[in-house]
Chain A
Amino acid sequence: MDSKRNSRRDLLKASAALAGGILAGKAHAQEHNHPTTPGSENASPMIHGSQEQIAYGQRSKYVTSVRVQHPIGGRPSPDVFGKTFHIATPLQDSVGVITPSSLHYVATTRGSYLPDIDPAQHTLTMHGLVDRPLTLTMDELKRFPSVTRLHFIECAGNRHNGQQKTVQDTHGMTSCAEWTGVLLSTLLRECGLKGSAKWFVAEGAEEVKGASSIPIAKGMDDCMIAYGMNGEPLRPQQGFPVRIMVPGFEGIYHTKWLRRIKLVDRFYMNYNEFGHLRPEDKELALGEQIGPKSVITYPSGEQRLPGPGFYEISGLAWSGGGAVKTVEVSTDGGKKWNRAQFKNTPQRMAHVRFGYEWRWDGTETEILSRCTDEIGQRQAMREEIANWWNVPFERNYRVPGLDNSVMPWRIARDGSVTNGLA
């Protein structure tokens, strides 16, 4: 109705704000004696535009957070052949829940070798116990109805012990991204899944053709054939052009460079499964779905609190069983547990960011976090896990299956933060 007047008013407001901004910027520069780019009114040096800056953008040179070779496994990345093994994400610098694609953790089934796949040549084939085997080009895959979901992936090697220094060392083999693709159930219905199909083998196109056996009940529930990650195509290190997401299962199940899905009537014991082989059913069960887990990322190992006062303790929680329901934080070594706040809405098999407002009195203490998921599983202390297995608890106790035990950080009187397991 009165849109003309409104837009004029908005324009006036905007120019006033702009003028104010320029003036404020100038005053700020003079006050703090910042160097200014000659002939400009900016308060800081200018980042010069380049083709690179225009085409794909770059982070500030003051932001230097990087991935590192993960200590578990003990193999260098890259090695002399240019292969990489385990690369950990810098959780100590993370904010929110999305891991940038450039910083997502990387693991490979056999110290791989990164295939350089031309998506125009790549196909995905589904066959075995289906009525109609199906081969899809990547363009065809993208014609199916899609879903976009947040999911974490965590490597089975993401274990914490007393030798590690930072949260990148202790927990850096988990990451969370927004994944886009087609639900496997959509594709399997298109193929006509047979009732006799109980498992499927998901196989990659890399040199070793890494393959995992996955229960069909999982496949029909929430597995996704993903081609997108954080708003763009997958990175080669994450399986470009296509991978399978098996939400909440150990990372190795999330077959990268996916080329084939074979529907079968039994557990196939591929080479990847040989790594999971255990004497007992109970221990084997802990090597599939990831348990409820959380860790404080600030303050964490090798960080330092400048002095007593207010801090927001920040961390991440996740579970392979569903969405996280509650997170508790203790600032007194586990005597008292306090409810933490969620910083975003918890989603199924996704990291959730939590915070806890804390006033540090400057005395030595230990801070910990634990979470409970929507199906009632609660993250346990290492002692509790040893008790359950009826084995004596020792300092170097190894938690069976993926290690989802509580992680303590110790804070010294000088504010320095160190590994509470050391």
Chain B
Amino acid sequence: MGSREMLKVLNALKVVAIPLLLGSLVGSPAIAQSPTYGVGRTPTAEELGRMDIAIGPTGEELPPGRGTAKEGAQVYVQKACIGCHGVAGIGGAAPVLRSERGADVPVWQKERILPLRSPYATTVWDFINRGMPVGLEGTLTPNEVYSLTAYLLFLNDVIPEDHVLDKESLPKVTMPIGDEFGKPHEFKPNAPRLKGYPY
């Protein structure tokens, strides 16, 4: 290859190399975000909807439906929750679901009961939906889950008996714990879990 041809090749390379270099420096989305391996497939919206059962504090994943404590009291018997958790959440072999301590007792001194201590009512909905009843998980309808959530929140004096829970109202329920709970710190790799602990 003659020197002139070499120069041509180098110039051609520069045209390609400079934008590539700039792209990686400024994190250009067009370069950084194209798939590298092209393995796998795109899930359908229907598939994602069916599996998207992690309900965040904003409730954006909640399905349509509604329920009240009165309806929930019936579901609680029909779905045999009562068999393990006892009458109105007390006296069964499974965890207690209603506090037996007075209304004036601070929430951190009450029992560790999900529909009482949870910072978000959405977590109560999420767990009933994904985890109950034992052995028949995933069989409750959205209305049944809204109703049971309302019933357990009512039993713990969080909402009144006629309060309708749905996609809009559930994330707005004010839980007794308020803001009185530890928030996760910002995780950084290679950093102590708690600065200065125990030195």
Contacts from A to B (Cβ < 8 Å): 110, 125, 127, 131-137, 140, 143-144, 189-190, 192, 201, 203, 207-209, 211, 215, 217-218, 221-222, 259-260, 262, 264, 266-271, 273-274, 277-286, 288-291, 320-322, 375-378, 380, 384-385, 387-388, 401
Contact = CB atoms under 8 A, between A and B. Distances in A.
B182 A321 contact: no
Contact of B189 (A222, A269, A279): A222
B119 to A, nearest CB: 6
A93 to B, nearest CB: 31
A74 to B, nearest CB: 14
A262 B42 contact: no
Contacts of A218: 187, 189
Contacts of A143: 37, 39
A203 B51 CA distance: 10
Interface string B129-149: 011001101100000000000
B5 interface: no
A375 to B, nearest CB: 6
B190 interface: yes
B180 A201 contact: no
A257 to B, nearest CB: 13
Interface of B: 32-37, 39-43, 47-48, 51-54, 56-58, 108, 114, 117-120, 122-123, 126-127, 130-131, 134-135, 137-138, 180-194, 197-199
B30 to A, nearest CB: 11
Contact of A131 (B33, B54, B114, B137): B33
B199 A133 contact: no
Given A132-B35, A209-B130, A285-B194, A271 B123 contact: yes
A388 B198 contact: yes
A175 B174 CA distance: 42
B39 A285 contact: no
A144 to B, nearest CB: 6
B188 A217 contact: yes
16 contacts: A133-B42, A135-B43, A136-B39, A189-B32, A192-B33, A192-B35, A208-B130, A209-B130, A270-B54, A280-B182, A284-B182, A284-B184, A286-B194, A289-B187, A376-B192, A378-B199
Contacts, number: 169
B182 A208 contact: no
B190 to A, nearest CB: 6
A291 B131 contact: no
B198 A125 contact: no
A277 B117 contact: yes
Contacts of B183: 267, 281, 284
A207 B129 CA distance: 11
A377 to B, nearest CB: 5
Contact of A215 (B56, B127, B135, B187): B187
B36 A375 contact: no
A269 B119 contact: yes
Contact of B137 (A207, A222, A267): A207
B143 to A, nearest CB: 20
A217 B184 CA distance: 13
A130 to B, nearest CB: 9
A160 B86 CA distance: 34
Contact of B40 (A136, A322, A385): A136
A324 to B, nearest CB: 14
Contacts of B122: 269
B120 A321 contact: no
A175 to B, nearest CB: 21
A136 B190 CA distance: 31
B36 A286 contact: no
A190 B32 CA distance: 9
Nearest to A189: B36
Contacts of B120: 269
B39 A140 contact: yes
Given A268-B57, A285-B193, 9 more contacts: A135-B41, A140-B39, A211-B54, A259-B51, A266-B56, A269-B119, A278-B181, A282-B182, A376-B192
Contacts of B58: 266
B39 A375 contact: no
Contact of B123 (A110, A189, A274): A274
A268 B55 CA distance: 7
B39 A269 contact: no
Given A135-B47, A221-B189, A271 B126 contact: yes
B57 A209 contact: no
Contacts of B194: 282, 285-286
B43 A127 contact: yes
Contacts of A269: 56-57, 118-120, 122-123
B193 A208 contact: no
B133 to A, nearest CB: 11
Contacts of B52: 127, 262
A217 B39 contact: no
B33 A203 contact: no
A177 to B, nearest CB: 22
B40 A291 contact: no
